[in-house]
Structure 1
């Protein structure tokens, strides 16, 4: 009864490991040591919820009301571009980032940003609900075992990404490094915003 677990794990990791806005944000927060546990937790719970919806067969709703994805798409484009501008402005500042955690940013702001990067991205629905959900249902009675593997992939990836970034935070706390990190995050956000804007209407 465990034969579907490994395919679920591998497929989940294959879809989630790709560089995206959510991963870039987790990496940034890990290096900043800014509410990292909350960020990782939100990403994991959101993934599990979306994969669970797809496994339960809710994916057909997206097929029936595709205009919802278009709303999420344009909201995501706007948010990504705004965040990119913020990252580029930070990249212009010469000082090193204080990663001690004493002056960490607002928890509310970080929570809202994490939710936005997760829930305003239509790829999250396509990957987690439609693709993983459909693949899970192809395993029949073992669909929840497949989903369990995908759940585990999400837990492993986000935990490893956040922990790895946190472990490197002191080494990376230099003015040049932070300029590069913020600039790269801004570039990733712009690139993904363009991808979303050019997606065919559904």
Structure 2
């Protein structure tokens, strides 16, 4: 049970670690301390919903198409290899930095932006319902539930840490050398997951 939960946590946190558009929004809201709790909860609960759908519904889908997990794993591996290569290229070229935050006014435009960055992003479906769902297929019963809870917990931990730790991260995120290290770590992580999917 503990091993399954830790696997779910590690899988989920590694997939959402990359600084994408959604994470940049959470980071910026944290920097200006504007609607942080609402944005963090929205992103975390959205992830929890998608992760649950992937973990609980993946078996039913694969009952109709038993070849689907392998195809999705291979497709996910290709995407992760490509994304990892982009991160390695960014680390090699340098010049990455976080643009200065801009304060947001009312709550609803911020929520609308978070919703668009979450639900209109095709990668979120690959990550949550595809990759996490595929990994969860290796567990059964209570172990599968533990895996799902671990994956959901990772999402909450990540978004709360990002939103409320933003002010501590701000100097590092504005430093090009720090971004080179971050991009390199993300690249290694993405390629490691891709290798596991291919070899699995």
**TM-score normalised by length of structure 1:** 0.60
Query: Residues of 1 paired with 2:102 and 2:113: CA distance?
Result: 20
Query: Residues of 2 paired with 1:33 and 1:117: CA distance?
Result: 19
Query: Residues of 1 paired with 2:54 and 2:167: CA distance?
Result: 32
Q: Give the structure 2 partner of residue 33 of structure 1.
A: 33
| Mapped pair 1:9 → 2:35 | no
Would the alpha carbon gap of residues 146 and 98 (structure 1) be closer, same or farther in structure 2, given more than 3 Å must change?
closer
CA drift at 1:98? 8.6
Query: Residues of 2 paired with 1:136 and 1:106: CA distance?
Result: 39
| Mapped pair 1:145 → 2:146 | yes
**TM-score normalised by length of structure 2:** 0.61
Query: Residues of 1 paired with 2:122 and 2:42: CA distance?
Result: 17
CA drift at 1:152? 1.0
**RMSD (Å), alpha carbons:** 2.9
Query: Residues of 1 paired with 2:2 and 2:45: CA distance?
Result: 23
Query: Residues of 2 paired with 1:52 and 1:168: CA distance?
Result: 30
CA drift at 1:168? 6.5
Q: CA deviation digits over 1:18-38, x for unaligned, max 9?
A: 111111111111111111111
Q: Which runs of 5+ in 1 are unaligned?
A: 65-90, 172-176, 181-202
Q: CA deviation digits over 1:111-159, x for unaligned, max 9?
A: 1111111001000000001110121121112111101111111111101
Kept in 2, the 8 Å contact 1:136–1:144? The answer is no
Kept in 2, the 8 Å contact 1:5–1:147? The answer is yes
Q: Which aligned runs of 4 or more in structure 1 are off by greater than 4 angstroms?
A: 96-99, 166-169
Q: Which runs of 5+ in 2 are unaligned?
A: 69-98, 176-200
SS in 1 for 2:18: coil
